[in-house]
Structure 1
């Protein structure tokens, strides 16, 4: 317990000093390993989107020889939905739930249970240590929320362009594996660029205030029709980016086309009909962010050339080497 008392301040400072989700996760993992010691066996399930709509994913787990097969089963094969429902029915003051082979600490944000830390019963922790654990988890959640708030576009409340670049780099380097590791099917990451068709006409005919309202409504439709674990960004102006995992390209196409159709069927106040065009690409081959954006942009251009209000996969382009030129056609 002396170790906990002497390190608690340093652990807190370490967590609030992190400026990215990835380093924040690494700091939490190191903190838990130090706090629990060699006998500590844990798994951390959490909704990284800070939304109750997303089922908590396995984000962190202990490593080392102490994590034998039996312990892995107890911690890594937790039936998340019923356990989450049980935790959400607990009184707010309850910090620990004792079950057959595990102990569970609910992780709350703004009064909502968004995840939990699972400890194996063989982990030996002083009673007062659970209060420190809850404090550390609370600091982690609030620092995560701070990072996410700082990366929001002020108009649409979508993630901003800077966050887009960072997220693509994280995905390309495998740092987003926590989101897909629990799927029973192999998932692939896709990135789409969406652009509001003929948006200049909206600004010219109705003014920039109405133009901003159109951007905001499109943003709301995009965000509400993707899962909580997907990423939706305002890429710039009337352009958006969506990054999401999916089983295969055909399913990704169907998802994007469904959202495109929904927007086309929505009546926008004063403006009436608004459509979007999209181009998308699979995030593979360890390319640079600019390369992925260029591929999606070329697919988007093809959607514009084909009459707008369409979705095009980069893989469907017949000649991927030719640069596109708009000529006299007003595409955007």
Structure 2
């Protein structure tokens, strides 16, 4: 801990200069290694959605090969919910909670406990280090919030198209493995494209103001019916994209169809009932973002051809090389 010194300024600049969640995590991990020392055993748990609805996940941990296994287990297999409840009851000015084998530093955002840094008690953190560590964690959280708000669609408050491309690249590269590994069951990532059926009729018959209200309500229904850790994007116009982990394709289909049903059963003001069609694909094998989008889009097209208000998996297409020539059929 003697490494904790007057480097706070340089660490702050390093964190706020990061322009992606992945590089921000890497920068924080590097700083923690410098602060705590290479031999220190620690784990960082955080709710990346900045929401108390999401249980903090193990984001990263110390990686030294010389670390004792029992120490690593102590910080990486914490029963998070009861610890989180205990942290929520602490006064705002409490910087450290000491447990049997661990020292816990709560991580707060806007007064809410969204995660914590767990340090094994083999490396006692002196009181002089608490302030520096908490400052670094606070800068990390605010930079993460800045990155997220810059990637939000102004109408729907969903993530925007630019963020979609970045997230697919990260997932295919394995940079979002923290979300999948937090479950005991092996999971895969899936990506769906959803489109409001016959949306042109809404704009033509009710005007663009009502059209925007329909887009906003569909966005709210999508966001509220997916898990906090899933990613919901406004892909463009009346199209949305959802990126989420599931055990298998059957579970992914069931989830998407359930959300489709919720939207179909909702009565929209002035417009009445509105439906959506979806197509989805598993994000497996290294590929370009455009390739995955094209596959999901083909499945979406099939849903439109089959009568709309349905979900189609790319793997179920008979002709996976078909194009989108629709002739005189108004599919969208």
Class of the TM-score when normalised by the shorter of the 2 chains:
over 0.9
- Give structure 1 stretches of 5+ with no counterpart: none
State how far apart, in whole Å, the 2-side matches of 1:172 and 1:235 are. Answer: 19
Q: Which residue of 2 aligns with 1:313?
A: 313
Q: CA deviation at 1:130?
A: 1.0
State how far apart, in whole Å, the 1-side matches of 2:263 and 2:125 are. Answer: 53
Out of 64-73 and 109-118, give the one that drifted further: 64-73
Q: Which residue of 2 aligns with 1:213?
A: 213
Q: CA deviation at 1:323?
A: 1.8
State how far apart, in whole Å, the 2-side matches of 1:4 and 1:121 are. Answer: 17
Q: CA deviation at 1:255?
A: 0.3
State how far apart, in whole Å, the 2-side matches of 1:215 and 1:85 are. Answer: 37
Q: CA deviation at 1:180?
A: 0.9
Q: Which residue of 2 aligns with 1:136?
A: 136
Q: Which residue of 2 aligns with 1:329?
A: 329
Relative to the length of structure 2, the TM-score reads: 0.98
Q: Which residue of 2 aligns with 1:230?
A: 230
State how far apart, in whole Å, the 2-side matches of 1:256 and 1:322 are. Answer: 23
Q: Which residue of 2 aligns with 1:41?
A: 41
Secondary structure of the residue that 1:5 maps to in structure 2?
A: coil
State how far apart, in whole Å, the 2-side matches of 1:111 and 1:103 are. Answer: 21
Out of 73-82 and 123-132, give the one that drifted further: 123-132
Contact 2:192 2:278 in 1 (8 A): yes
Q: Which residue of 2 aligns with 1:28?
A: 28
Describe the superposition over 1:277-300 as per-residue Cα deviations: whole angstroms up to 9, x where unpaired. Answer: 000000011111000000000000
State how far apart, in whole Å, the 1-side matches of 2:109 and 2:125 are. Answer: 24
State how far apart, in whole Å, the 1-side matches of 2:67 and 2:75 are. Answer: 9
Q: CA deviation at 1:3?
A: 4.2
State how far apart, in whole Å, the 2-side matches of 1:131 and 1:3 are. Answer: 14
State yes or no: 1:117 paired with 2:117: yes
State how far apart, in whole Å, the 1-side matches of 2:196 and 2:210 are. Answer: 14
Contact 2:199 2:238 in 1 (8 A): yes
Describe the superposition over 1:34-91 as per-residue Cα deviations: whole angstroms up to 9, x where unpaired. Answer: 0111342110000001011111100010011342111012101100111111111111
Q: CA deviation at 1:152?
A: 0.1
Describe the superposition over 1:94-114 as per-residue Cα deviations: whole angstroms up to 9, x where unpaired. Answer: 111100000101101111111
Describe the superposition over 1:234-256 as per-residue Cα deviations: whole angstroms up to 9, x where unpaired. Answer: 00000000000000000000000
Secondary structure of the residue that 1:260 maps to in structure 2?
A: helix
Q: Which residue of 2 aligns with 1:258?
A: 258
State how far apart, in whole Å, the 1-side matches of 2:226 and 2:108 are. Answer: 24
Describe the superposition over 1:161-204 as per-residue Cα deviations: whole angstroms up to 9, x where unpaired. Answer: 00000000000000000111121111000000000000000000
- Give structure 2 stretches of 5+ with no counterpart: none
- CA RMSD in angstroms comes to 1.0
Give the number of aligned pairs.
Answer: 332
Q: CA deviation at 1:2?
A: 6.9
Out of 43-52 and 86-95, give the one that drifted further: 86-95
Q: CA deviation at 1:160?
A: 0.1
State how far apart, in whole Å, the 1-side matches of 2:67 and 2:16 are. Answer: 29
**Structure 1 segments of 4 or more deviating over 3 A?**
none
State how far apart, in whole Å, the 2-side matches of 1:191 and 1:174 are. Answer: 15
